[in-house]
Structure 1
Amino acid sequence: MKCQGEKRGHSLPGQRGSMKPGGVPAGEGPLRDATSVVVPVSAPGTSRKGCPWIPSNFWEEAKRLLALAGPLTLIQLLVFMIHIVSSIFCGHLGKVELAAVTLAIAVINVLGISVGYGLTAACDTLISQTYGGKNMKRVGTILQRGILIVLLCCFPCWAVFINTEQILLLVRQDPEVSRLTQVYVMVFVPALPVAFLYQLETRYLQNQRIIWPEVLSGIVGNIINAIANYIFLYMMDLGVTGSALANTIAQYAQAIFLFLYIVGKKLHVETWGGWSSECLQEWDTFTSLAVPSMLMLCIEWWTYEIGSFLVGLLSVLELSAQSIVYEVSTVAYMVPFGLSTAVSVQVGNALGAGNIEEAKRSSVVSLLCTGVFCVVMGVVLAASKDVLGYIFTSDTEIIELVAWVMPVYIAFHLFEAACCTAGGVLRGSGRQKFGAILNAIGYYVVGLPVAILLLFVARIGIIGLWLGMLICAFIPCSCSIAYIARMDWRKASEEAQQRAGVSQQTAEDLNTAPIPSKQAPLPGEAGAQNGVVLLGFTKLEGPRLQEAAPARTPAAEALSVKQLVLRRGLAVAAAIAVLMLGVAVRVTTAPH
């Protein structure tokens, strides 16, 4: 990684080729036929001393990052709380009901919410870079494109949802728990597209650095969820069905509230130009980012669930301890996840604007902030490991097992958090494919097989799972950081501006401009040029070079109407066919 303290020439975006008052072209090479005194100066944001890893303006950048990451962390916590509140209310109904609701939420998250969340993460690249490139109306077009694609993705998810009971029975879950789980999931089916659209709404706003409306909508959703749970469970005695209804209503409430807030406050005016046929174009660009983004998230998420299932095959004691460690890990993951989202916004905005130095600086600062947080969190968990289990249970065996696992989890969390933040840099720069490949290798090729060997061959219990998870996180973490350190940021910026539909005049274009005619040198003002101050004589006569202005260019060749009808029609047909297949499986295999 290039050190932030290097002394280098520095010019602000949009200054290349513009003229200083004294006639000095900013950012151009040395002036001929001009007498100048050269005095070195440092570019803004750099240090004159050595080559430190920490940028000289670290604190300013950290404040900007944390101001964005704080509310984003709160948003994720509010989303998580809806499911926690549902579990708390159902815990008073009975063990079977609690198990069913917990299992249903896991199914919805793993086979539904995670898919939508991963697909909408393409907006972390596309909207952030397009907004940074100031191609405002294209932001609305990308949002429209995302709406159509995620709604189509509901059909395959529904095909799985309607067969939840059969899947659970296939893996030998309790029949009554499986039946109640199916009831909960079926009630939630209408809420899935709304949940996807809410995720799109939040991505649309946060990539424009608009954060607090999402926090307000999350608070509204949690309040309505709690009230609805109380009414349906304690006043109407609807049981698991009531809990699912409360969750569904909460999903609709927060999505509708956020939509009304956007319209009421006119947050969409700058970027929304109305529905356009352009939203049917460039689906390949969206999906080429959306699918790897989904895999980056889902591979890790699914590994957690697979691990819990494997531990459940050992004993109830091991599973209980795993459940506690899993809850702790979910809470500890919130801050790195917020930092990851924040840095993806900052890197995407910077690359879209052509500000390479800011993108690099944001990536360095985000990783440093993550490291500091992990150290603090590790100290807290290490100090409280012997009493941490008491928050969840009074069983001393479970508490001791949690304390035994916690040191391994602390080491795992360090790499997991760094990998999460590095993933934000990869999303912001459009490098999701690399992240998805790393996660697949780290988790499924190496880490998970090691965990299985330690669990069932070495038989060292739950700690074997977390040793395997430690390997899972270490591989993508180290490789991601090394990749970011060697990334071609200039190429990433060019790709970002192409996605944004923006092109800048190149230096070669500028060099073809007329060369000022040779005139008698006149006294001029001092001007900054390539990291030096020019004092003395400069040119005043001759044609003025024009400032490079962003040019709007189409990001890809447009499809014809015939091609659009064929391709989009096939996409819709495929989605419906998958749902019909799921219905057929349901009808032929459902228990009578």
Structure 2
Amino acid sequence: MGSPSIHLVTRRVHLFVRSSHDLCTTGNCTNCSHLYLLRQHWWEGWYLGSAHVPTVSNASEMEEQDDNQPTTGSPDTSVLEPTKPNLFPQRLWRATRRLLPVNIWQEVKDLCVIAGPVFLSQIMVYMVNIVSSIFCGHLGKIELDSVTLAVAVINVTGVSIGSGLSSACDTLISQTFGGKNLKRVGTILQRGVLIVLLFCFPCWAIFMNTEQVLLLCRQNPDVARLTQMYVMIFMPALPAVFLYQLQTRYLQNQGIIWPQVITGASVNIINAAVNAIFLYGLNLGVVGSAWANMISQFAMCLLLFLYIRFKKLYVETWSGWSWDCLQEWGSFIRLAIPSMLMMCIEWWSFEIGGFLAGLVSVTELGGQAIMLELATTAYIIPLGFSVAASVRVGNALGAGDPEKAKASCNVAIFCTVFFSVITSIFLVVLKDEVAYIFTPDREIVALVSRLMLIFGPFHLCDAMACTCGGVLRGTGKQKTGAIMNAIGYYLVGFPIGISLMFAAKLGVMGLWLGMLICVFLQASFFLTFSLRLNWSKVCEEAQVRAGVKPKKEEAEPDVSQLEISCNGFAMVPDGITQSSSNQCAITSAEVAGAAVLPDAAEEIQGDELLIQEDSANVLVNVVGEVLPVKQLILRRGLALGSAIISLLIGVVIKILTANGNG
């Protein structure tokens, strides 16, 4: 007899299982579980290509066999196994299902609630430079090159430093806020303000010597001079840039994102108006563009501060300036420096790539510039999920929920893969047209079209590494990320890319092949590390960092101070032993000779556990060693002195090189 159609068999299996379950009158029906496995194995076997699938005709026989088996233990499901087990698609599907939480759609929604506004806020920040470049389009070639180079110098030696240092708050504030130690959040913000402002001094020292550095790189003297002028005008705005970065971390790690979007949109309007006045109205050229950029950065910082102030977003987490902000600088720096390196290593690599492309030809430089713009734009999408993953994971760990943190990590990675695949396919399909947005030059368009074939898989790997980097920040594992970035970019990607670029004469194509190898290794390592994290251990570390739990003491108990009373006979042993009859009670040496009843001992132990639990839940504002006032003044004074000395060194170099050029 021929087999029935797929739809008929499916319907009969469902009806058979449902009718069998209707006869069940208990809350724990073994037959129902068995029949559910029948339906599940039938579906997976048919859908994934199994050679043998149980049919409805032998379902009743299997049920009778199950009834004749002993009820102890789990039911035997060997009859349900397909004849071709361990098919790769089946194993992949089951492994994927194990990684995803039950409430996956709720987690996707929670991630998108954060990632969406972050995406918009990053676009607002990115548009400030885009608008400035558009207004500078009518300037001469030297002026336009100077503005472009000045913005690159500011980003590499200024903005990237502040943004990286502020990323320490992605760990500290997210975990502390998740642990509900709200006043400590304000203290962390104060500490961050002082530290990032000190880093302005060495950045200013570099800004002052921009022209000398560019001349050493054999840049056009006129371009170097105008770039120096732009950077010097922008210098006072650097603290505003750093403080804006801190404010965004302060808000987003509490799940507050929309203020950045609103203030960013307002700043773009201000930026366009100021550029129009200075460049078209007053014809100030490069100077006008620099002044417009400086004003826009101050406006961005000030508007966000006023929004926080008047909307009272600070009330729950700010209790005023405290001397505690001078404590724990070491723990902040230990997170801030690796965070900065994680960001700057990748950022600097692309800027260096643009410089190397200029050594090949103008066409190669144009193609690299367009690819960099496309990569930056496409990067904003995974950046949103990276921030969302950092916030969700950090909040969950601070709250003591490692399973929720793990679920947020897995769902964020899957969302990133989904959107990055769509983006990659879209750009590869439009590879022959997308370059016309930037230039009509056919040689550059043809080069970009070839590079887009590499950019597709590059973006997928880069997006996964970006989101996994957010997980590392949320868990406080920035040091691992910084080491891997350094190895991937400077020991693997760049050497291969430069070799292919110059030795193999592949030009920019060779550089991007090297970067593709780099991000593939980077994404593989980050993904493996994130999925194999010991979430319970990371959760303990997070709660200690958040000031919710004290550090575990490793000291051994003093056995000499303990006395064991066992069956009425007192003795002081060489080591602590435990009676097999559980009739021994450990008491203090102060009650030697006294009779301690088992009930009293249990009550004492219960009270001690209650006291320990209460003390463990006490929120603290300073974690770790508290420095005395004299030592605190000495150390913070040395930090301030070092920052000032770095600026003075920059001034001296500027004066000496100026006299040498003169």
The one-letter code of the counterpart of 2:627 is: L
1:486 offset after TM fit, Å?
1.5
Contact 1:374 1:414 in 2 (8 A): yes
Equivalent residue for 2:193?
147
Deviation sequence 1:12-41 (CA, Å, 0-9, x none): xxxxxxxxxxxxxxxxxxxxxxxxxx9x9x
Displacement after TM superposition at 1:367 (Å): 0.4
CA distance in 1, matches of 2:646, 2:151: 23
| 1:283 and 2:329 correspond | yes
Q: Tell me, in whole angstroms, the C-alpha distance in 2 between the residues paired with 1:471 and 1:157.
A: 32
Q: What does residue 587 of structure 1 align with?
A: 655
One-letter identity of the residue aligned with 2:401: N
- In structure 1, what is the Cα distance between the partners aligned to 2:502 and 2:139? 35
Q: How does 1:346-361 map to 2 (within 5 A)?
A: 346-361=392-407
| Pairing partner for 1:411 from 441, 457, 464 | 457
Please report how far the alpha carbon of residue 480 of structure 1 lies from its aligned counterpart in structure 2 after TM superposition. Answer: 1.0
8 Å contact from structure 2 (residues 544, 551) kept in 1: no
Match of residue 233, structure 2, among 187, 197, 221: 187
Give the CA deviation at 1:122.
Answer: 0.2
**What TM-score do the two structures reach when normalised by structure 1?**
0.84
CA distance in 1, matches of 2:285, 2:627: 51
Residue 462 of structure 1: how far off its partner (Å): 1.1
1:468 to 510, 514, 518: 514
SS in 2 for 1:503: coil
Partner SS for 1:555:
coil
User: Identity, % of aligned pairs?
Assistant: 58
Q: Give the deviation of 1:55 after TM superposition.
A: 2.3
- Comparing 362-371 with 53-62, greater Cα deviation is found at 53-62
User: Which of the numbers 427, 450, 454 marks the counterpart of 2:500?
Assistant: 454
User: 2: distance between equivalents of 1:163 and 1:564?
Assistant: 33
- 1:578 pairs, out of 646, 649, 658, with 646
Write the distance in 1 (CA, Å) between the matches of 2:256 and 2:162. 21
Partner residue of 2:629 out of 558, 561, 575: 561
1:219 matches 2:278: no
Equivalent position SS for 2:321:
coil
State the AA in 2 paired with 1:256.
Answer: L
2:525 maps to what in 1? 479
Paired with 1:474 and 1:390, the residues of 2 have a C-alpha distance of: 29
Partner of 1:162: 208
Question: How much does 1:149 deviate?
Answer: 0.1
- The question of whether the paired residues in 1 share the 8 Å contact of 2:432 and 2:445 is answered with yes
How far residue 52 of structure 1 moved from its aligned partner, in angstroms, is: 2.9
Residue 302 (str. 1) matches residue 348 (str. 2): yes
Q: Which residue of 1 is the match for residue 86 of structure 2?
A: none
Deviations 1:209-237 (A, max 9, x none): 11111111111211111100000011111
Q: Equivalent residues in 2 for 1:112-511 (5 A)?
A: 112-503=158-549
Deviation, structure 1 residue 317: 0.6
Is the 8 Å Cα contact of residues 497 and 514 (structure 2) preserved in structure 1? Answer: yes
Q: Which one has the bigger helix percentage? A: 2
Give the structure 2 partner of residue 27 of structure 1: none
- One-letter code aligned to 1:311: A
* TM-score w.r.t. length of structure 2: 0.75
Higher Cα Rg, which structure: 2
Match of 2:619?
552
The offset of 1:397, in angstroms, is 0.9
Local SS of the residue matching 1:443: helix
Q: With CA pairs under 8 Å and 6+ residues apart, which has the higher RCO, 1 or 2?
A: 1
Provide the secondary structure at the position in 1 that maps to 2:515. helix
Whole-Å separation in 1 of the counterparts to 2:310 and 2:484: 43
1:503 shift after superposition: 1.5
CA distance in 1, matches of 2:458, 2:648: 42
Query: Matches of 1:404 and 1:505 in 2, distance apart?
Result: 55
> What is the one-letter code of the residue matched to 1:579?
L
The answer for unaligned runs of 5 or more in structure 2 is: 1-71, 75-93, 553-605
Change (3 A) 1:570 1:546: closer
Task: Name the CA distance, whole Å, in 1 between partners of 2:100 and 2:335.
Answer: 31
Aligned match of 1:81 in 121, 127, 134? 127
- AA in 1 matched with 2:215: L
State the distance in 1 between where 2:149 and 2:226 align. 10
Residue 100 of structure 2 contacts residue 407 of structure 2 at CA under 8 Å; is this kept in 1?
Answer: no
Contact 1:125 1:428 in 2 (8 A): yes
Q: How much has 1:504 moved relative to structure 2?
A: 8.1
Separation in structure 1 between the aligned mates of residue 298 and residue 368 of structure 2, nearest angstrom: 32
| Offset of residue 91 of structure 1 | 1.3
Corresponding residue number in structure 2 for 1:7: none
Q: Which moved more, 1:260-269 or 1:121-130?
A: 260-269
Q: Does the aligned pair in 2 maintain the 1:438–1:475 contact within 8 Å?
A: no
> Contact 1:123 / 1:203 at 8 angstroms: preserved in 2?
yes
Q: After superposition, what is the alpha-carbon deviation per residue over 1:340-383, rounded to whole angstroms, capped at 9, x for unaligned?
A: 01110000000000010110000000000010011100110111
Contact kept? 1:435, 1:476, Cα under 8 Å: no
| Alpha carbons 2:544, 2:550 under 8 Å: kept | no
Give the whole-Å Cα distance in 2 for the aligned partners of 1:189 and 1:445.
33
What is the rounded CA distance, in whole Å, between the counterparts of 1:149 and 1:52 in structure 2?
43
**2:61 aligned with 1:54:** no
Report the RMSD for the aligned CA atoms in angstroms: 1.9
SS at match of 1:208: coil
Per-residue deviation at 1:484? 1.2
Farther-moved stretch of structure 1 (495-504 vs 455-464): 495-504
Q: For residues 123-169 of structure 1, give each alpha carbon's deviation from its aligned partner in whole angstroms, at most 9, with x where no partner exists.
A: 00000000000001100000000000000000000000000011011
Q: Distance in 2 between matches of 1:191 and 1:505?
A: 41
Contact 1:165 1:178 in 2 (8 A): yes
Shift of 1:551: 2.2
Q: How many matched pairs?
A: 511
Q: Distance in 1 between matches of 2:381 and 2:535?
A: 26
Aligned residue type for 1:313: L
Structure 1 residue runs of 5 or longer lacking an equivalent are 1-37, 41-48, 507-542
- Are 1:113 and 1:196, in contact at CA under 8 Å, matched by a contact in 2? yes
Contact 1:187 1:245 in 2 (8 A): yes
1:63 aligned residue: 109
- 1:442-488 Cα offsets, whole Å, 9 max, x none, are 00011100011001101111110000111121122111111112111
Alpha-carbon distance in 1 for matches of 2:278, 2:196: 30
Secondary structure in 1 matching 2:350: helix
| Structure-2 separation of matches of 1:322 and 1:81 | 20
Shift of 1:56: 2.2
Q: Which amino acid aligns with 1:568?
A: R
Is contact 1:65–1:339 with CA below 8 Å preserved after alignment?
yes
Q: Structure 1 counterpart of 2:424, which letter?
A: G
| Cα offset, 1:96, TM superposition | 1.0
1:53 Cα deviation from its structure 2 partner: 2.9
